């Protein structure tokens, strides 16, 4: 995922003078329920994805920041994802 974000940011960086990137996950409401993920909330799963996206941004634009769009299933603050690095 980081690689794909890097490719996108390579194209966007020349026109994004604020270093602010507004990207978010597909909000279709489907989240993983596998053994590894089933105990995580939608917010936790989203935060893991956003962290990967931010790493990709930082690999191209060291000043880059990423917005976090919180609503519907991700409105609650993530709490498990912080411990899964």
Query: Residue 40 has what DSSP assignment?
Result: S
pTM, two decimal places: 0.84
Instruction: Give the model's pLDDT for residue 78.
Output: 85
Dist CA 56 CA 29 (whole Å) = 24
Residue 1 CA: distances (Å) to CA of 6, 18, 48, 50, 77 = 9, 23, 11, 10, 22
Does residue 57 sit in helix, strand or coil?
A: helix
Range of the domain at 30: 2-83
Distance of CA 55 to the CA centre of its chain: 9
Domain count along the chain: 1
Percentage of the chain lying above the pLDDT 90 cut: 48
**36-62 tens-digit pLDDT:** 888 898 899 999 999 999 999 999 999
């Amino acid at each position: 995922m980081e690689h794909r974000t890097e490719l996108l940011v390579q194209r966007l960086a020349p026109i994004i003078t604020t270093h602010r990137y507004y990207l978010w996950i597909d909000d279709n409401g489907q989240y993983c329920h596998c053994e590894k993920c089933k105990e995580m909330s939608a917010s936790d799963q989203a935060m893991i994805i956003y962290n990967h996206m931010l790493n990709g941004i930082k690999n191209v634009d060291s000043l880059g920041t990423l917005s976090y769009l919180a609503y519907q299933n991700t409105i609650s603050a993530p709490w498990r994802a912080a411990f899964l690095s």
